[in-house]
Chains A and B, each alone.
Chain A
Amino acid sequence: MARRTRTDDRRRAQRRKDVLHGRGSGHREQDFRCAGCRLVVPLAAPGTAHRNHCPTCLESLHVDGRVPGDRAAACRGRMVPLSVSVRPDGEWLLVHECRSCGELSANRIAGDDNALALMRLALRPLRDPGVPGVAHGALLAL
């Protein structure tokens, strides 16, 4: 049975937040906390100007609309990595899917992204062939 620390049913009012997150304040200006693994991630990333996902678990947060950094989305849901796409010039893109509203977004991978997590994501279609025989049939047809 869960322990109850508060015996009365009156709930304390939420504490007023006096620290402004984001630009202009010293706190959480140069980093963010990952929604998936709770690690603190610096915003500066090698190879990309704007990082939008955690380099460790590759999860992201649905805060932007169509333009990166516009903070136009009111969803704030967790975005999990869905697949890896490749640009014609060979750059990898990470496709995220919002767990809350189902929106998809693509972002270039950063230089310090977890190579093992990226490789697991890239190998996922080959590991479990979902549509029966699609992967095996395609391999046999080659």
Chain B
Amino acid sequence: MSALLLTMQALLSHWRRHRVQGLSIITGLWLATALWTGVQALNSQARNDYARASAVVAGPAHAQLVAPGAQRFDQALYLQLRQLGWAVSPVVEGRLRFAAEQPLSVRLIGIEPLSLPPATNIAGIAAQDFDLQAFIGTPGQAWVGPDTLQQLGVKPGEQAVTSDGQVLPTLVLTPQLAPGIVIVDIGHAQALLHAEGQLSRLLLTDDSKPLPDAIAARLERQPGEDDTGLQRLTESFHLNLSALGLLAFVVGLFIAHAAIGLALEQRRGLIRTLRACGISLGTALSGLALELGVFALLGGLLGVATGYLLAAALLPDFAASLRGLYGASVAGHLTLSAEWWLIGVAVSVLGALLAGASSVLRAARLPLLALAQPQAWRLAQGPWLRRQAWLAGLLLLLALACYLWGNSLPTAFTLLAALLLASALLLPSVLDALLGGLARRCREPLTQWFVADSRQQLPAVSLALMALLLALAASVGVGSMTEGFRRTFTGWLDQRLAADLYVTPRDTAQALQVRDWLATQSAISTLLPSWRVELTLQGWPVQVQGIIDDPGYRSRWPLLELRAQAWEQLAGGTAVMLSEQLARRLGVQLGDRLQVLPAPAPGMTVVGLYADYGNPKGHVLVNADWLRRQRADAALSGISVNLPAEGIAPLKHELQARFALDDSRVVEQSTLKRWSTDVFSRTFAATAALNSLTLGVAGIALFISLLSLGQQRLGQLAPLWALGVRRGQLAWLSLGQTLMLSSLTVLLAIPLGVLLAWCLVAVVNVQAFGWRLPLYLFPRQLLQLALLGVLTSLLASAWPLWQLARRQPAELLRQFADET
């Protein structure tokens, strides 16, 4: 039998007697991989869907022509280019709304199949394979993906009806089409979007020729990808989720690391014997590495499978929040590639390497004559604690540097990670110092033992306590941030949504009719029409809203900063107000000049900044008359109405009947608030779930550490029993020790969590979303989390202590007896 095989046989025999320990390594790797791959599955699904959505039209068209500000333009420009011999193909785009419990909005893309470049694919279907007659003719075809079909609640071959009562062409299932997209012939699309004679862009095959001057003045060349900015807008959302997943991964690795370390400590004698018997160091290390590989593979396979299930469970909330926040459509089911599964297992192997590397290195440096002794372990821990403290100090400096000089999301996350890691590394030193201080005050023998023994247990349980610290701090931080956001958001909604009824007409023509009719209604106290233009400013999508001068805005618009006479200047058309996030993105402050619309429109002074939570796009407030003068295409997008409560329902019915507007176009304030808070709740549902799971993982880490310690601790407890301390009393004392360690950890986790909350609201949110929230602390929530932390450790220690209390004297006797 080869040396390696013999080594493996000897090493693996350990697990027959230490099954819990083996299970804990697998559990650690399993949970770490599950939470990480689960999050990555969600992100990967979303990114795939964005990519599919942006690559609906794939082929040799490398560039496109669009109007400045991404407005629609006259179809005549297309005809001019064709007459000049340019190979361009027109596309019109817009959104269609469908009545559902919550309004469903899909992206309608109209294409012109005859002019598409020859090798173009539309959702995987080659242009030459089109059934042109069916696609172009009447009623035509509307291609949809399976998810959209399901959301619409219709079957292939049927025709869907929009909330305006327009009938779509016959639906055709196109499996490769991204969710939330409908493709029709351009003629049908122009009719459905009320955009007759208008186009959104022109696909361009030949990117080398300069545009004719007459065209270049009205259209600009852009890269070919159909980038709706979704990747950019949702980047922060996915990064936040990844950060949580990473935290859970790290917490999971703590379990594996603790168990691998303990297994090595227990096998120091075995390794020493193996080497004394002639097994080379290389063979022993190979054996350990192989063993680690087996664990990694088992944990990885289990983890990836669980990650898939976790992602599938979280996907509905995840998709709903992406839809609600960004209008991004994500499939309702997971379709993950084989690559994802392989990466999942690779992550587990990497995790195992990270968790086990230090143990294998320690085994490599193990002096042959070294004996495993608990107190020696603790004393040897001294230099480790010092090194950890140094590293923690360096990490704190890094965190400080990120705070002072960082101005991006990665530096914000580095700040968070450095802070958390530094705190975790400092925890054993802090606990050791606290217990040391306590030990000096103890006089009673059992109290003395209680503290001294707790201190001796520290090296074995410190990793689990670090995991508990991280998980609790994350819970406190994320919980405070979420609750703070909820409070701020609710207050902000109350301010911002002050009108009783919100009307969103189909188009400007109808809006003007609605406005004129509403103006004749005597019950209405305030009528606020709102004009809108969508454009891009320095690459960011921006909504420019034109408002009339009304005292209501002065009293309720949620301004964060404003200059003197701000509203008067806005009304005069010489100033603008910006949402906080847009101001940050553009780097402008009060008093700066901003060119909102392209020249020749004049630049204007920024006189106010306001909160605009939940809006991924930038928002600009200008005077309505000024906007209409500058942009003839500004749309009358919405009308807000105030009237006595008893008049709301009759007016709504009258509006719906008179102008054929459905429920999604005439919305009462309470409904709008409910929709907004629903989006909010769902956005944080995945966060809350991951948070709870992370805390659960920390609980499991503690449980496994205590269980692994259980057997070891007999040697420490038996002498006390022999000296007259009862078994029950020993169990209570052990429980007290666990509670003391976890309570101290909880006490340290709370200020750390508050600091984390501050980092989230004042640093990460600012970098991720552009808005800063006030920091709220919720003592009741902190108390609940503290109790939860203690309860978690209580539950974690329950089983090991139950076992201890039930130990038969014979088991304790074995600690003394060399013979019968």
* A, B in one complex: no
